[in-house]
């Protein structure tokens, strides 16, 4: 490159970030009125524009301004921004025209439209566009690219009450979004070829990229993204449907921004992708077809905005074709035309909006003669349209001349006259529809009646297009002085800093082929216009594919296919999912076993003693009995309790006291939970699988059981293949964590982050249970619960005196045990998890003995709060480490000696464990509390703590009471 | 000893899987509980078995310690599995109370969600 003097400047971040930051304000300020919202949007854009303009000196010198920030370096995703000529031009168009659009929209939108939303969407879109053109990292660029698709969806569907608006928005999102996906793939391939995702690096590696075998796939995928975005054939159909948006949106998206993003990217990638045959034939041909097709269709559209939409398609095709030629001169022409098209097309869209606004219609057939009624609009519209037609001395003429000039030198598969011929035809139609815009709208006799009374709009509405039209004229007359340096700088950025070709931006080049072609196009355009009626008859008689119908048919077919796949795979038969999962697991387990090797046994097995053997018999017996008797649900619940107890004892026996304590307390809580739920479920499981099915299930279970048993046996009989990290924990537990119970130190210190996550998960589980209860009890289930008959006759004494007294006496003792277990946890078996469970059990005893209602009346704290405080305390303890410049959750400890007490230890880990304790307590209690609410009945509240009512289940007595009442 | 633990894991796994493949909610919950035991014991046993060697440091003399890491992992797993069981129990209960049906499989006639029919 000519000037690789990288000037680093942080303000680039600001230019890209300002629209996003400013997007908040219109939505908030709309309460203060529409002017406030519009001013906030305008000011934001203005600031960003100023931020851009201060870089004029360096950009005009040819410097590249950069701002670098490593975001996720591991992925090669850096928030790098760069501003060179090309980025500058586009940013200028986006922000400059954006400012005009903001002004225009303030007067265009009606009182019913939510203007705050409009400006918020507009700024989001603007930010995404600026992000695209300033990105120096293609991954970052892709993010902004997708953001434009999403935010343009919001803008196009802004009038959400119109079905066309919603359909148009969906179509635009589907087309540009799927193109964006293709582009992601292409960009990743490109980044892979070069080994960097930074544009500035990629742009240096032309030879590497073009010689790579992956050049073609990358090129096609990237072009798919560009063509969909820039509405190139055959993806052009979304653009006209996007015209259902409010006119300011159309003017913005389709003149300066959204559709230009594809052109921008082709220009950006031009130095490395262009110049090959593939590039020429794909890009130039697509552009040529699009240019011709768009121009022809535009001539026969009666809706003003549809006419402009297809003309936009045509002009985008023109620029694409020029970029596709791959010559330097064509690149310069493309850049120049982008500038010109943005100016006259934005003005034309705004003019169309004014006409719609003031006359109440956009139908050309109902318009005409407006030059008398709307002279200002007439002037603006006519100049812009003539520039679009390519008449001197306007700017459209200059770039069209350059285009025609270049086509003359282009051969397509040895055909010398094909490209210039078709380009001339397109220019001819282009002139024709431009003339039609003027002639059928403004000229002609004044009509008897219009849908409204047309008159020129207030200045706010015509100021923006007028400014653009002044530019159109000035660029046309003094092109070299006004945009000459800009075109030079931008073009040199596009062609990769090589020497610029000879070109001159002036009106008179002498009698060149391009001039003759221009004359033919103009005269032919006038002739076509005079024959418009006849042409329209022919056009209407021609069979044409309706793009929208085809698109919807494709979408429908895709929806049907995906729905069929979903329905077949996800048919709600959960037992099928389970069997697939288990069979697959068994299968890969077998595969690993069959293909792997196994070492020799290195450990001597422990001698089994008689007590463990008895435990084993109980456990295996209970497990088999569960399988056998599982239809009797209460019995199987008792049996599973047996299994749980043996497992707890086994943990204790095998040197895991912490696990034993945890398991046994969890066991208690789980059993209460299951018993409570069984209260509402059927007590028996009926037979409903066939014998064959049961045998199949039994076979697969046995295989899985043998597999897991054999695996753990093989594991236990061998030493570790690699040294474990457990030695580190044992060695550092006391020195680093200040505790002798290594298991607890691991939980609250070494792996505190895991524990932190786990208490959050537990809290979420409890909240799900609470929410589920709320939702279910809000339906007619409550009525069912209130009227249901219990499975078993209820005891007359539901709160037995002995139990009530015993549990109340035990309550303080149980709490004391909890506290003891908690405090000794760091050095002896215990800790927050176990203490939380024990205290929860202490509360649950009161629930069971004295009744839910009695307990809930005496409750002084909310379980939600307990969960929340637990997580917060744990987090705050972890954050505390930051203030001491240590990593998150680093614990600290020390020793205190307060006579006459013994020396004792303090550790921040105890605070963390407090958080664990509170979260576990809250979660367990909230879960069981929710379940208990299912059993709630009115009139259960007892004035007396003990409710001995021997009459309860005697229906005859109840009937008597009713009769008496 | 190792053979006892391994066979217990195998039996609990087999019974758990058999119950998970039943078609009513309650056996499935029981099956999940059994599998939870099996998995917890399995994980615990990856630290190899040791008798009278709890991972509580002795300040006064050198004694062998068992592997503390699997224990710490299993401890949280036990608590989390309680949360999981509770959620599943509540889902099963709510489903039963709402439809008076405790089948885990959706039958063709109760495809109420019919995703997208109304879109």
Residues 6+ apart with CB under 8 A from B34: A623, A626, A640, A643, B12, B13, B15, B16, B19
Instruction: Kindly list the residues from chain A whose CB atom is less than 8 angstroms away from the CB atom of residue B61.
Output: none
Structure confidence at residue A43 (pLDDT): 92
Q: Count other Cβ atoms within 10 Å, centred on residue A923.
A: 30
> In this model, does residue A949 exceed pLDDT 70?
no
Closest Cα in chain A to B41: A647
| pLDDT range class, residue B3, cuts 50, 70, 90 | very high
> In this model, does residue A958 exceed pLDDT 70?
no
Q: Which of A615, A656, A736 to mutate to test the interface with B (most CBs of B within 10 A)?
A: A656
Q: What single DSSP character describes residue B107?
A: P
> In this model, does residue A85 exceed pLDDT 60?
yes
| CA B19/CA B36 separation, integer angstroms | 13
- A490-518: average pLDDT: 79
Cβ–Cβ gap A762/B45 under 8 Å:
no
Dihedral angle computed from the Cα positions of residues A225, A226, A228 and A232, in that order, rounded to the nearest 10 degrees: -150
| CA A96/CA A113 separation, integer angstroms | 24
| CA A474/CA A467 separation, integer angstroms | 11
| pLDDT range class, residue A654, cuts 50, 70, 90 | very high
Element (H, E) at A259: helix A258-273
Query: Chain-centre distance of CA A240, in angstroms?
Result: 27
- Axis-axis angle for helices A34-53, A11-22 (nearest 10): 170
| pLDDT range class, residue A668, cuts 50, 70, 90 | very high
> In this model, does residue A544 exceed pLDDT 90?
no
| pLDDT range class, residue A651, cuts 50, 70, 90 | very high
Query: A161-170, A227-236, A534-543, A937-946 — which is least confidently predicted?
Result: A937-946
Looking at the partner chain, which of B26, B44, B106 has a beta carbon nearest the beta carbon of A633?
A: B26
Please give, rounded to a whole number of angstroms, the shortest distance from the CA of A871 to a CA of chain B. 15
Residues 6+ apart with CB under 8 A from B108: none
Q: How many CB pairs under 8 A join A and B?
A: 313
| Mean pLDDT estimate for chain A | 87
Q: Which of A611, A658, A695 to mutate to test the interface with B (most CBs of B within 10 A)?
A: A658
CATH class of B2-51+66-104: mainly alpha
Looking at the partner chain, which of B3, B69, B86 has a beta carbon nearest the beta carbon of A673?
A: B86
Instruction: Kindly list the residues from chain A whose CB atom is less than 8 angstroms away from the CB atom of residue B33.
Output: 640, 670
> In this model, does residue A895 exceed pLDDT 90?
no
Looking at the partner chain, which of A579, A765, A828 has a beta carbon nearest the beta carbon of B84?
A: A765
Structure confidence at residue A2 (pLDDT): 36
**What's the ipTM?**
0.92
Residues 1..60 of B with a Cβ closer than 8 Å to A: which? 1-27, 29-30, 33-34, 37-38, 40-42, 44-59
Structure confidence at residue B112 (pLDDT): 47
Structure confidence at residue A959 (pLDDT): 56
Residues 63..102 of B with a Cβ closer than 8 Å to A: which? 65-69, 71-72, 74-76, 78-87, 89-94, 96-98, 102
- Per-residue pLDDT tens digits for A818-853: 999 998 888 888 889 999 999 999 999 988 888 888
**Contact by Cβ (8 Å): A920, A840:** yes
Domain ranges of chain B: 2-51+66-104
- A896-925: average pLDDT: 84
> In this model, does residue A428 exceed pLDDT 70?
yes
Cβ–Cβ gap B55/A924 under 8 Å:
no
| CA A226/CA A223 separation, integer angstroms | 5
| pLDDT range class, residue A643, cuts 50, 70, 90 | very high
Rg for chain B (alpha carbons), in Å? Answer: 21
- A147-164: average pLDDT: 90
- Per-residue pLDDT tens digits for A451-501: 777 788 888 888 999 999 999 999 888 888 888 888 888 888 888 777 777
**Contact by Cβ (8 Å): A931, A852:** no
Looking at the partner chain, which of A572, A659, A700 has a beta carbon nearest the beta carbon of B74?
A: A659
| CA B83/CA A837 separation, integer angstroms | 12
- A69-78: average pLDDT: 76
- Per-residue pLDDT tens digits for B34-89: 999 999 999 999 988 888 888 888 878 888 888 899 999 999 899 899 999 999 99
Nearest CA among A555, A490, A717 for reference residue A167:
A555
Structure confidence at residue A546 (pLDDT): 80
- A97-109: average pLDDT: 91
| pLDDT range class, residue A869, cuts 50, 70, 90 | very high
- Per-residue pLDDT tens digits for A748-758: 888 888 899 99
Closest Cα in chain B to A738: B57
- Higher-scoring residue by pLDDT: A317, A368: A317
| CA A274/CA A272 separation, integer angstroms | 6
- Per-residue pLDDT tens digits for A808-827: 899 999 999 999 999 888 88
Looking at the partner chain, which of B10, B49, B94 has a beta carbon nearest the beta carbon of A776?
A: B94
Query: A34-43, A263-272, A945-954 — which is least confidently predicted?
Result: A945-954
> In this model, does residue A162 exceed pLDDT 70?
yes
The full DSSP string for A680-745 is TS-SBPPP-S-HHHHHHHHHHHHHHHHHHHHHHHHHHTS--SS--THHHHHHHHHHHH--SBHHHH
Q: Please tell me whether the overall predicted TM-score, pTM, comes out greater than 0.95 for this model.
A: no
A96: tokens are 């400059």
Domain ranges of chain A: 276-530, 736-954
Looking at the partner chain, which of B37, B47, B69 has a beta carbon nearest the beta carbon of A644?
A: B37
Closest Cα in chain A to B114: A567
Phi, psi of A893 (to 5 degrees): -155, 165
């Amino acid at each position: 490159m000519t000037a690789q003097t990288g000037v680093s400047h942080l303000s680039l971040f600001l230019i890209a970030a300002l629209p996003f930051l400013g997007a908040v304000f219109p939505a908030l300020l709309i309460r203060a009125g529409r002017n406030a919202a519009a001013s906030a949007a305008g000011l934001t854009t203005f600031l960003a524009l100023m931020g851009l303009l201060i870089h004029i000196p360096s950009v005009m010198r040819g410097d590249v301004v950069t701002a670098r920030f490593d975001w996720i370096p591991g992925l090669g995703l850096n928030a790098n921004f760069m501003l060179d000529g090309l980025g500058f031009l586009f940013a200028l168009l986006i922000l400059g025209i954006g400012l005009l659009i903001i002004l225009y929209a303030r007067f265009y939108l009606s009182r019913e439209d939510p203007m705050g939303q409009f400006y918020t969407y507009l700024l989001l879109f603007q930010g995404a566009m600026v992000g695209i053109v300033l990105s120096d990292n293609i991954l970052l660029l892709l993010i902004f690219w997708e953001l434009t698709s999403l935010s343009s969806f919001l803008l196009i569907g802004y009038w959400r009450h119109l079905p066309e608006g919603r359909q148009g928005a969906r179509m635009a999102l589907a087309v540009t979004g799927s193109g964006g996906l293709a582009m992601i793939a292409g960009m990743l391939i490109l980044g892979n070829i070069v080994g960097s995702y930074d544009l500035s690096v990629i742009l240096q590696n032309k030879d590497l990229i073009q010689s790579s075998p992956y050049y073609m796939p990358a090129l096609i995928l990237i072009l798919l993204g560009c063509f969909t975005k820039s509405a190139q054939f055959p993806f052009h159909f979304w653009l006209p449907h996007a015209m259902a948006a409010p006119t300011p949106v159309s003017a913005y998206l389709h003149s300066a921004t959204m559709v230009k993003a594809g052109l921008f990217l082709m220009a950006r990638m031009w130095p490395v992708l262009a110049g090959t045959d593939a590039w020429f034939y794909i890009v130039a041909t697509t552009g040529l077809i699009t240019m011709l097709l768009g121009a022809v269709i535009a001539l026969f559209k009666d809706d003003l905005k549809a006419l402009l939409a297809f003309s936009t398609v045509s002009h985008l095709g023109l620029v694409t074709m020029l970029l596709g030629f791959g010559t330097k001169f064509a690149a310069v022409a493309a850049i120049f035309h982008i500038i010109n098209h943005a100016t006259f097309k934005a003005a034309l869209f705004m003019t169309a909006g004014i006409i719609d606004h003031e006359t109440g219609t956009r139908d050309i057939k109902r318009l005409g003669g407006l030059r008398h009624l709307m002279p200002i609009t007439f002037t603006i519209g006519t100049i812009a349209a003539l520039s679009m037609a390519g008449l001197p001395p306007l700017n459209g003429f200059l770039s069209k001349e350059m285009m025609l000039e270049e086509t003359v030198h282009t051969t397509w598969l040895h055909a010398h006259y094909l490209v210039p011929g078709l380009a001339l035809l397109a220019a001819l139609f282009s002139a024709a529809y431009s003339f039609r815009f003027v002639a059928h709208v403004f000229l002609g006799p004044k009509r008897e009646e219009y849908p409204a009374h047309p008159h020129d709009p207030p200045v706010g509405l015509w100021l923006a297009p007028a400014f653009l039209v002044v530019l159109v004229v000035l660029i046309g007359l003094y092109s070299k002085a006004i945009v000459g340096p800009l075109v030079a700088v931008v073009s040199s950025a596009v062609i990769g800093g090589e020497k610029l070709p000879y070109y001159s931006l002036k009106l008179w080049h002498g009698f060149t082929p391009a001039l003759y072609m221009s004359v033919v196009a103009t005269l032919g355009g006038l002739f076509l216009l005079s024959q418009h009626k006849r042409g329209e008859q022919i056009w209407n008689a021609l069979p044409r594919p309706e793009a929208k119908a085809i698109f919807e048919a494709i979408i429908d077919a895709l929806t049907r296919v995906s729905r069929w796949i979903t329905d077949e795979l996800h048919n709600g038969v959960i037992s099928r999912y389970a069997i697939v999962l288990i069979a697959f697991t068994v299968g890969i387990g077998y595969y690993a076993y069959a293909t792997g090797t196994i070492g020799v046994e290195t450990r001597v097995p422990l001698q089994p003693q008689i007590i463990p053997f008895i435990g084993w018999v109980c456990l295996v017996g209970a497990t088999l009995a569960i399988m056998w008797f599982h239809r009797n649900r209460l019995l199987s619940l008792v049996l599973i309790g047996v299994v749980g107890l043996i497992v707890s004892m086994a943990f204790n026996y095998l040197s895991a006291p912490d696990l034993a304590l945890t398991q046994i307390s969890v066991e208690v809580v789980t059993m209460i939970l299951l018993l409570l739920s069984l209260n509402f479920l059927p007590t028996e499981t009926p037979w409903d699988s066939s014998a064959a099915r049961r045998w199949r299930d039994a076979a697969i279970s046995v295989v899985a059981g043998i597999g897991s048993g054999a695996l753990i046996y093989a594991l236990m009989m061998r030493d570790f293949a690699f040294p474990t990290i457990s030695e580190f924990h044992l060695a550092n537990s006391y020195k680093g964590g200040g505790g002798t119970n290594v298991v607890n130190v691991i939980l609250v210190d070494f792996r505190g982050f895991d524990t932190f996550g786990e208490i959050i998960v537990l809290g979420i589980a409890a909240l799900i249970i609470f929410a589920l209860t709320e939702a279910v009890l809000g339906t007619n289930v409550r009525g069912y619960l209130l009227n249901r008959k219990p499975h078993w006759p209820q005891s007359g004494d539901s709160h037995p005196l002995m139990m009530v007294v015993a549990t109340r006496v035990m309550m303080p003792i149980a709490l004391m045990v909890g506290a003891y277990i908690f405090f000794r946890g760091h050095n002896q078996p215990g800790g927050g998890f176990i203490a939380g469970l024990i205290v929860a059990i202490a509360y649950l005893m009161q629930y069971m003995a004295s009744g839910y209602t009695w307990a809930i009346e005496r409750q002084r704290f909310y379980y939600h709060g307990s969960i929340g405080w637990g997580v917060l305390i744990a987090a705050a303890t972890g954050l505390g480490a930051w203030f001491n410049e240590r990593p998150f959750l680093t614990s600290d400890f020390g020793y205190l000696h307060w006579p006459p007490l013994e020396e004792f230890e303090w550790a921040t880990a105890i605070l963390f464990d407090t958080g664990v304790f509170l979260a576990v307590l809250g979660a367990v209690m909230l879960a069981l509390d929710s379940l208990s609410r299912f059993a709630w009945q009115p009139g259960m509240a007892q004035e007396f703590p003990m409710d001995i009512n021997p009459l309860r289940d005697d229906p005859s007595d109840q009937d008597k009471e009713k009769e008496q009442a | 000893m190792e053979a006892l633990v391994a066979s217990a894991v195998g039996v609990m796994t087999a019974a758990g899987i058999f119950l998970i493949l039943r078609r009513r909610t309650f056996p499935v919950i029981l099956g999940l509980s059994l599998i939870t035991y099996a998995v917890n014991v399995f994980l615990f046993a990856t630290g190899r078995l040791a008798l009278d060697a709890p991972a509580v440091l002795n300040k006064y003399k050198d004694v062998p310690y068992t592997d503390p890491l699997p224990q710490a992992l299993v401890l949280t797993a036990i608590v989390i599995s309680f949360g999981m069981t509770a959620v599943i129990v509540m889902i099963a209960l709510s489903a039963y109370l709402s439809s008076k049906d405790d089948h885990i499989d959706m039958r063709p006639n109760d495809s109420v969600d019919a995703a997208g029919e109304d879109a």
